[in-house]
Every structure is written in C-alpha cells, then in structure tokens.
Amino acid sequence: MPQCPCGSNLDLNVCCGRYHAGEPAPTAETLMRARYAAYALSRLDYIAATCAGPAAAEFNLLQAQRSQLGTRWLGLEILRSRKGREVDGEGTVSFIARFSQNGAEGKLRETSLFRRIDDRWFYWERYRESAALGGSGAGRNDMCPCGSGRKYKKCCG
C-alpha cells in the first residue's frame, strides 16, 4: 500500500485515503492534510467537494487541473492549528507546502480557515501569506501552485 503524501508515515488507505473515499474528516487539520494529499494525488474532485463559501465560489476545476500540470507536491509541514476540533464550528491551520513546478522548487505558506457545516469540515477561505518559486524565479506566468487556477503573478506571486 502506498504511503500517504500528507506526511503522517501511514498507509494512504488508513490515513487520508479514507477521507477521499467519503468519510468525514474529524478535525480541520485532518481535512487540511487530506486536501494536501488530494492535491499531491491529483484528486481534484475531493478538493472541489471540500470547498464551501468563498473558497467554493473561487474554485474552478478546469483551472485547477491546468495548475496541476508540471506541479509535484513535495511535502507538508503543519505550523499551527487553532480550534478546529470536533466540538468547534471553525478553525485555522497554518502550513507550508513544498512543491516543484516545471523544475523550479518553491513553497506555499498559508493560513486556511475551515468551517464545520452539518458535522463536516470545509475549507472556507485562505489567508495567503506567501508563495515563492526558487531557482531562476521563472514561472510567474505559470498557473499558481496553490490551486486557485489563476496565474502565479496574479495570485501568490
């Protein structure tokens, strides 16, 4: 069984794979990890299904698919989780996601807001902090690796 890309060191099926299969994530951080794993595995249907509010209005599946071309997700580091437990109505997760896009390595640093609706967590909104492509700095016209579907220079760049 393949290892889950979220960094848990667990098999995919006992980690984020079960959430991709429909089981509700119990916490905001768990949903964040499952969404990261979905990006890493190009399971964009899960990304779409776990958006609500402003994030759902902003998400464009076709643009997200284009953004995934040439992007490899290299690792997730959770910096901080606030609230977001099973008893909370909302929570935030701050993280760094490392990626490679068309050969240039970079990282996305973000704090995400999650809301619990009908006993399910949803990604609601992002408070973007920064995204940076390493190497030559090329890639400003590439699709943004954050998954918004916009060009890097008009989004996180």
Domain with residue 21: its CATH number is 3.10.450.50
Sign of CA dihedral 12, 72, 27, 7: positive
Q: Tell me, what DSSP letter sits at residue 78?
A: E
Indicate whether 5 belongs to any domain. no
Residue 67 pLDDT: 86
Q: Which helix (H) or strand (E) holds 38?
A: helix 28-40
Indicate whether 7 belongs to any domain. no
Indicate whether 53 belongs to any domain. yes
Which of the four pLDDT bands, split at 50, 70 and 90, describes residue 117? very high
User: For the chain, what is the domain count?
Assistant: 1
Q: Which helix (H) or strand (E) holds 73?
A: strand 71-83
Asked if residues 122 and 53 have their Cβ atoms less than 8 Å apart, the reply is: yes
- Which of 41-45, 136-140, 153-157 reaches the highest mean pLDDT? 41-45
Q: Which domain holds residue 113?
A: 12-154
State percent of the chain over pLDDT 90. 69
Grouping H, G, I as helix, E, B as strand and the rest as coil, residue 115 is strand
Averaged pLDDT score across all residues of the chain: 88
Indicate whether 61 belongs to any domain. yes
Sign of CA dihedral 104, 110, 113, 116: positive
Grouping H, G, I as helix, E, B as strand and the rest as coil, residue 109 is strand
Does the pLDDT value for residue 140 go beyond 80?
no
pTM value is: 0.82
- Identify the weakest region by mean pLDDT among 47-56, 70-79, 104-113, 137-146: 137-146
Asked if residues 106 and 145 have their Cβ atoms less than 8 Å apart, the reply is: yes
- In angstroms, the CA 13 to CA 5 distance is 11
Which of the four pLDDT bands, split at 50, 70 and 90, describes residue 141? low
- What is the pLDDT averaged over residues 37-54? 97
Residue identified by tokens 């901080």 is: 80
Indicate whether 69 belongs to any domain. yes
Strand order of the β-sheet with 104-117 is 71-83, 90-101, 104-117, 120-133
